[in-house]
Structure 1
Amino acid sequence: MSTLLHIHPEWLQRVLRVLSNVLVGFFVCYLFGAIFYDGPLGQANVWNGLLAAVWFVCFFILWRRVEERWKKLLVALVACLIVYVPWSMVGPSNDKNWAQDFEKTGWVEVADDEIIFYNFRDFDYTKGADGAWEVNPLWRTKTVHLSKLQGMDIFHDRFLGNFMAHPILSFDFGDEGHVCLSIETRREEGETFSPIGGLYKMFELQYLFTTETDAVRVRTNVREEPVFLYKSALSTKKIRDLFLSSVVVQNELKENPQYYHVLNANCTISIRNQYPKSERSPFDIRMLVNGLLDEYLYEKGVFVSEGLSYEELRDACHINAVAREAHSAPDFSKLIRVGRPGQN
C-alpha cells in the first residue's frame, strides 16, 4: 500500500489522506452515537455515554500511537467493527414497555367493503381540578366502509416551527366519521422524541389510526403546538389508494416491526415510500426538514387553495383558537372546519 501511495503525486496523497480521515471521522462519530443511544447499558443514558467515551479514548490513543497509514486504517476498521457487529444484531420489537400513547399494536381487517380497525386509539383529554390535563386512554374497535371514503384532509403540526413538523392524514368516511393516520416514533416509558436519536435504533415505527379528537386535540390543546388544517385536492382514487396502502403498512408492522429513522422512515418519508417509485415526486429537502412541508405540498397543488397565496392559505387554516373553544364539543371535527378553504 505504501508503494502504491508513493507513485501518486504529493497533492493526490494529501487529498486521499484528508478523505480517509473524514471517512474515518464520520464512522467513528456515528458509532459513538450508536453506543450512546443503543448500547447495552440502556438507551441514551450516562452509562452508555461513559462506555462510548472509553471506546473513543482507546481508539484515539491507538490511532495516535501508530505511524504507518495502513495501520491507522486497520485500527479504525477494528474499532468500528467492535461496535458495528453487535449493534447490527439489535432488532426492532413490538414487545417492550411502551409509553401509554403507544401501548397497543394496531392492525386492520379488510373484508370486501368493510374495514375493521383493531386497537384504534380514541384517547380523551380533560382538565382536572388543579387545571392539569388528564389523559383518559381508550383503545377500541372501529368499523368503516371503503365505499364511503369521500375525501382527505391534512393536519400540519409545526411543533418545531420551520425546522420540523408532523403531518396527520384524516380520511373522511362521511357519516362514519374521520379516521386519522399519525405515523409516530413508538416510544418506551420515559422516552422523549429526539431527532438525533432518530438516526439510530432508539424508536420503533408505528402507524396509529385514531380519532381527530385524539390526534388533533392533544396537539392543539394539550401541547399547544401550532396546527393547520388543509383540504386535499387529490382525487378520490388516489386517496383510496393511499388509505389502503397505509392499512397494508400497519399490518406489516404488526408482523414485522421496523425502526423509525429520521432520514428514510420518518412521518413524511414513510408516506412517500408507500407510492411506487415511478409515482414519487422528486425528493425535496422539505420532506426531511418538514416544518415547511405544507409549503411544498401547496406548490405541488396537493391543497385546495381557492386562489390564496401560501401565506394566506396557512393563516386561514390555522385551527388552534377554534380547537380550544370546541374542545368538549360533540361536533369538534365540524367546528374546526367551518370557514376553512375547501371545506363544505
Structure 2
Amino acid sequence: MTMLRATGCGLLTLVLLLSSAWAVPALHFRLALPPPARLAVCVLWAGFALAAIVLLWRGQPARALLAYGVAFALLLGWWVRIAPSDTRAWSDDVSRHLQASQSGSVVTLANVRDFDWRSDTDYTARWETRRYDLDRLRSVDVALSYWMGPAIAHTLVSFGFEREGAPGGREQVAFSIEIRKERGEAFSALAGFFKQYELSLVAADERDILRVRTNVRGEDVYLYRVALAPPAMRALFLAYVAEAEALQRQPRFYNTLTANCTTIVYTMAQRIVGGLPLDWRLLASGYLPEYLHAAGGLVPGQDLEALRAAGRITLRAQAAPADAQFSQAIRRGVPGTAE
C-alpha cells in the first residue's frame, strides 16, 4: 500500500469513526423503539461502520463508502425531521410559558413562578402575574449554581427593581434558561447533544429558583453584581422577554454545547454590549466569574477571590426566611449590592 493510499484510507477511516460516534448516540437517544430494539440498532450501526472500514482497507473503497454514505444520508434525513414539541407531559415547574406584554415602561409578566419547595417532588405550585417598571430597573446580578464540580454550573440572571414597600425597597425577578423536562425525566449532558430536551425560559421569584438549589438540591450558589449601564440592563431584560416570546411561538431544542443556560445569555449580551470575546469558559460555565472579571463585567476594583468569597450565598440562603426578606438576606455582604 502506497503512502498516499494509506493516508487517504486513514482520513476516510477517521470520517467513518467520527460520523458513527455521532450516529450511535443519536439513534440511542432519539429512535422511538423499546430499549432492547434501540440497542440492537446501535450495535448494527457500529458493526456496519466497522465493516465499511474493513472493506476500505481491503481495497474496496467504492463499495464501502457507497453503502455507508447511503445509510448516513437516510439517517440525516430522519434526523432533520425530528422537531421540538410544545405538547409533552411537562414537569410542573416548566409546564407554563412565560408570557409578556409591555405598555410604556411597564412590562407585565404572566406565569412568573413562585413555588414553595419542600423537596424536588413535594412543593406548592404558584404561578403569578407581576409588573415591572423598566424606569425603576436598578441592578443585574448573575448567580452560578454549582451542581457537578467546579467546572459545571447553572447560570441565572436576576434583575432588581426599585419598589416601595418591598424589603430594602427592591424586588427581584430571576431568569433561567433550562431544559423543559417531561415528568420523571432526568438531565443528561450527553443526551443534551441529541435533541433530547426542549428549551424553557423560566422567570421566578428568587425564593423559588435560588432557594430550591441551595435548600433542596444541595447545590452551592454564588452571586455577583454585574457592571452594566442602565440602557444595557434594560436591553438585557427585554432580550429575555423577546426570547420568551420566541419560545412561545416556536419551541426549540436545548443543546449542551450551543444552546444552554450560558451560551444563550452570552448571545443576548453580545447583541447589547458587543465586543465580548468567545472563550472556553462560556462552555465550562463554572469559570464564568473569571471570564466576567477579565472582561470588566463585575464590581470594579475588587479581587476575584474576594468577590467569590463574599458572593457565596449558600449558607445565607439556607438560613434565610422563605418570605419576602429572602432576596435581601442573601445579598448581605455581596460587593456592589448595598444600596
TM-score, structure 1 normalization? 0.89
| Structure 1 residue 49 displacement after superposition | 2.7
Matches within 5 A, 1:102-251: 102-126=94-118, 134-175=122-163, 177-251=171-245
Identical columns (%): 30
| Structure 1 residue 247 displacement after superposition | 0.7
**Higher mean displacement: 65-74 or 314-323:** 65-74
Question: Could you tell me which amino acid in structure 2 is paired with residue 195 of structure 1?
Answer: A
2:310 corresponds to 1:335: no
C-alpha change, 1:64 and 1:19, in structure 2 (3 Å) is closer
Task: Measure the CA separation in 1 of the matches of 2:241 and 2:273.
Answer: 21
Task: Measure the CA separation in 2 of the matches of 1:68 and 1:133.
Answer: 57
Assess if the C-alpha contact under 8 Å between 1:157 and 1:167 holds in 2.
Answer: yes
Assess if the C-alpha contact under 8 Å between 2:146 and 2:220 holds in 1.
Answer: yes
| Structure 1 residue 12 displacement after superposition | 3.2
Count of aligned pairs between the two proteins: 329
Assess if the C-alpha contact under 8 Å between 1:63 and 1:75 holds in 2.
Answer: no
C-alpha change, 1:21 and 1:243, in structure 2 (3 Å) is same
2:4 corresponds to 1:12: yes
Deviations 1:184-230 (A, max 9, x none): 01111121111111111001111111110111001111111110011
2:296 corresponds to 1:304: no
1:285 to 280, 287, 301: 280
Assess if the C-alpha contact under 8 Å between 1:98 and 1:187 holds in 2.
Answer: yes
Per the alignment, residue 3 of structure 1 pairs with none
Per the alignment, residue 74 of structure 2 pairs with 82
Task: Measure the CA separation in 1 of the matches of 2:302 and 2:97.
Answer: 40
- Gapped runs of 5+ residues in structure 1? 1-5
Question: Could you tell me which amino acid in structure 2 is paired with residue 290 of structure 1?
Answer: S
Question: Could you tell me which amino acid in structure 2 is paired with residue 230 of structure 1?
Answer: Y
- Gapped runs of 5+ residues in structure 2? 164-169
Question: Could you tell me which amino acid in structure 2 is paired with residue 323 of structure 1?
Answer: A
| Structure 1 residue 36 displacement after superposition | 0.7
Deviations 1:265-290 (A, max 9, x none): 11111112223399142210010111
Task: Measure the CA separation in 2 of the matches of 1:234 and 1:13.
Answer: 57
| Structure 1 residue 322 displacement after superposition | 0.9
Task: Measure the CA separation in 2 of the matches of 1:311 and 1:242.
Answer: 27
| Structure 1 residue 312 displacement after superposition | 2.2
2:311 to 279, 297, 317: 317
CA RMSD of aligned residues (A): 2.1
Question: Could you tell me which amino acid in structure 1 is paired with residue 147 of structure 2?
Answer: F
Task: Measure the CA separation in 2 of the matches of 1:190 and 1:133.
Answer: 10
| Structure 1 residue 329 displacement after superposition | 4.1
Task: Measure the CA separation in 1 of the matches of 2:173 and 2:61.
Answer: 59
Assess if the C-alpha contact under 8 Å between 1:31 and 1:84 holds in 2.
Answer: no
2:45 corresponds to 1:55: yes
Which aligned runs of 4 or more in structure 1 are off by greater than 6 angstroms?
Answer: none
Partner SS for 2:122: strand
Assess if the C-alpha contact under 8 Å between 1:123 and 1:139 holds in 2.
Answer: yes
**Higher mean displacement: 72-81 or 195-204:** 72-81
TM-score, structure 2 normalization? 0.91
| Structure 1 residue 53 displacement after superposition | 1.9
